[in-house]
């Protein structure tokens, strides 16, 4: 199975721009399925981007974030070729992680 | 006053006479001529939107609105259908339990052939769509068919469309009265008003492309099938051509048909044929 995380990080020398797309149902717990049963809440609680051992972006998420979330941000202090580590954990104990090279 | 009335009456009866005179000619022109229909259909859009590049019609509402187009181009760098595309690629390459695979069912191993679907099957006497061919392939190899509207079917067709991107739509209508009848039936379905709103497909997608319908921009009918399957933000997921037909019907408060019903297959045949020559752009992303 391919990773649930897609990421693209590009540096223009000073600023690194990061785009990430995460595959996750982000169920709120308020939606019913075809049988009329509630779909239990299932959402990402923490999303973390680390670069050179430092956290550069940490998000505490709840059910308000949409399915297959897309994140875009930029930060300073990284260079081309550095590793950017992305990881998430959800309320059911699921998690995924991936490391991307800054281009 | 009286003279005016007489004049009006006179012109009405003159019009009636003209109508009765013209009607036999109309019937004579009623022969099914797909090539002429396709030409007229394309010219209608080319004249209505002279500033839109011909190959751009396949990008639906984004060809109609500069602001939306800019946002879409940004989105295309990180397209929302990517997950489905990857899943489809993997599924396509995975053999069935009997060791055969999708590639065995299709010409050229199923790669770069999206532009030839739907086609008219002369043995069956009916239109065969790509979705139908995929499920028949599964059933012939002892696998359960997929739902026609989303998920696996959308992933598979997304991959097959992706391998055919840029190829011009190339639908053939064989010299077979049943094929012409299927085309004509699809055309009739497309232009027939139905449902509580009394809308036909054409009410939105021929009369009003580029106009807003609430917050949406309507896509032109020309090239609308070239982008299938699509990731729609409204669905927050993928959908096939079948899903598009079903939702269009229900949104205009008409009763949708079963996916892959004969009329849907015929309407897809009609829409694909009149888009001949325009590039495949699927899988697409739509608001």
Residue in B80, B81, B83, B147 to test binding to A, most A beta-carbons within 10 Å: B83
A70 to B86: CB separation less than 8 angstroms, yes or no: no
For residue B4, name the pLDDT band (cuts at 50, 70, 90): low
Q: What is the pLDDT of residue B31?
A: 83
Q: What is the pLDDT of residue B219?
A: 96
Q: What is the pLDDT of residue B177?
A: 95
Residue B145 token pair: 């068919």
Q: Is residue A13 one of the residues assigned to a domain?
A: yes
Q: Is residue A34 one of the residues assigned to a domain?
A: no
Q: What is the pLDDT of residue B277?
A: 97
* Closest alpha carbon within chain A to B91: A1
Q: Is residue A72 one of the residues assigned to a domain?
A: yes
C-alpha B109/C-alpha B105 separation (Å) is 7
Q: pLDDT, tens digit, for every residue of B58-117?
A: 999 999 999 999 989 988 888 989 999 999 999 999 999 999 999 999 999 999 999 999
DSSP H or E run through B46: helix B34-48
Q: What is the pLDDT of residue B258?
A: 97
**Is residue B211 over pLDDT 80?**
yes
For residue A24, the enclosing domain spans: 5-29+39-102
Q: What is the pLDDT of residue B12?
A: 47
CA B12 to chain centroid, in Å, comes to 41
**Is residue B28 over pLDDT 50?**
no
Q: What is the pLDDT of residue B236?
A: 85
Q: Is residue A52 one of the residues assigned to a domain?
A: yes
% residues pLDDT > 90 (chain B): 81
Task: Please state, rounded to an integer, the average pLDDT across all residues of chain B.
Answer: 90
Mean pLDDT, residues B197-225 taken together: 95
% residues pLDDT > 70 (chain B): 90
Q: Is residue A60 one of the residues assigned to a domain?
A: yes
For residue B18, name the pLDDT band (cuts at 50, 70, 90): very low
pTM of the predicted structure, to 2 decimals: 0.84
Q: pLDDT, tens digit, for every residue of A81-97?
A: 999 999 999 999 999 99
For residue A3, name the pLDDT band (cuts at 50, 70, 90): confident
Q: pLDDT, tens digit, for every residue of B267-280?
A: 999 999 999 999 99
Q: Which residue has better confidence, B15 or A2?
A: A2
Residue B153 near residue B159 (C-beta atoms within 8 A): no
CATH number for A23: 2.60.40.10
Q: Any idea what the Cα angle at residue B24 is, between residues B23 and B30, rounded to 5°?
A: 90
> What is the number of domains present in chain A?
1
Q: What is the pLDDT of residue B217?
A: 93
Could you count the other beta carbons within 10 Å of the beta carbon of residue B270? 31
Per-residue DSSP letters for B93-162? HS--TTS--GGGGSGGGGTT-GGG-SEEETTTTEEE-HHHHHHHHHHHTT-PPPPSSSHHHHHHHHHHHH
Q: Is residue A44 one of the residues assigned to a domain?
A: yes
Q: Are strands B230-232 and B216-217 parallel, antiparallel or unpaired?
A: unpaired
B83 to A68: CB separation less than 8 angstroms, yes or no: yes
Strand order from edge to edge, sheet including A54-60: A54-60, A44-51, A83-90, A95-101
In the block, which residue shows the tokens 């319908």?
A: B213
Residue B241 token pair: 């051509």
Q: Is residue A97 one of the residues assigned to a domain?
A: yes
Q: Is residue A50 one of the residues assigned to a domain?
A: yes
C-alpha B264/C-alpha B261 separation (Å) is 5
Q: pLDDT, tens digit, for every residue of A18-34?
A: 999 999 999 999 999 98
Q: What is the pLDDT of residue B25?
A: 46
Residue in A4, A23, A28, A69 to test binding to B, most B beta-carbons within 10 Å: A23
C-alpha A23/C-alpha A88 separation (Å) is 11
B201 is catalytic: no
Q: What is the pLDDT of residue B150?
A: 82
> B84: distance to nearest CA of chain A, Å?
10
Q: Which residues of A touch B233 (CB under 8 A)?
A: none
Mean pLDDT, residues A36-57 taken together: 95
For residue B2, name the pLDDT band (cuts at 50, 70, 90): low
Q: How long a stretch of residues is chain A?
A: 103
Mean pLDDT, residues B16-30 taken together: 48
């Amino acid at each position: 199975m391919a990773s649930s995380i897609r990421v693209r990080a590009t540096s223009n020398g000073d600023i690194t721009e990061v785009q990430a797309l995460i595959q996750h149902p982000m169920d709120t717990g308020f939606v019913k399925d075809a049988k009329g049963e509630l779909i239990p809440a299932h959402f990402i609680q923490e999303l973390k981007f680390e670069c050179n051992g430092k956290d550069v972006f940490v998000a505490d998420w709840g059910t308000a974030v949409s399915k297959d979330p897309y994140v875009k941000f930029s930060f300073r202090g990284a260079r081309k070729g550095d590793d950017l580590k992305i990881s998430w954990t959800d309320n059911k104990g699921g998690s995924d992680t991936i490391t991307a090279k800054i281009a | 006053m009286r003279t005016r009335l007489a004049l009006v009456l006179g012109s009405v009866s003159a019009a009636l006479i003209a109508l009765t005179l013209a009607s036999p000619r109309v019937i004579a022109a009623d022969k099914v001529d797909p090539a002429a229909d396709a030409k007229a259909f394309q010219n209608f859009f080319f004249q209505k939107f002279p500033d839109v590049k011909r190959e751009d019609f396949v990008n639906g509402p984004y060809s109609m609105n500069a602001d939306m187009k800019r946002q879409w181009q940004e989105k295309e760098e990180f397209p929302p259908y990517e997950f489905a595309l990857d899943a489809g690629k993997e599924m396509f390459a995975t053999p069935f339990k009997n060791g055969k695979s999708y590639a065995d069912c299709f010409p050229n191993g199923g790669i770069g052939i999206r532009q030839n679907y739907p086609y008219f099957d002369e043995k069956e006497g009916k239109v065969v769509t790509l979705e139908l061919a995929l499920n028949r392939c599964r059933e012939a190899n002892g696998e359960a068919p997929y739902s026609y509207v989303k998920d696996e079917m959308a992933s598979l067709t997304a991959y097959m469309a992706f391998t055919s991107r840029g190829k011009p739509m190339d639908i053939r209508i064989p010299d077979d009265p049943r094929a012409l009848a299927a085309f004509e039936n699809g055309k009739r379905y497309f232009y027939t008003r139905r449902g509580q709103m009394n809308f036909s497909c054409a009410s939105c997608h021929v009369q009003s492309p580029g106009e807003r319908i609430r917050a949406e921009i309507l896509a032109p009918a020309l090239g609308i099938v070239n982008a299938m399957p699509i990731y729609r933000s409204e669905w927050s997921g993928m959908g096939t051509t079948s899903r598009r037909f079903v939702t269009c019907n229900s949104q205009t408060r008409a009763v949708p048909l079963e996916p892959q019903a004969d009329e849907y297959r015929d309407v897809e045949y009609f829409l694909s044929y009149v888009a001949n020559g325009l590039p495949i752009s699927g899988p697409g992303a739509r608001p």
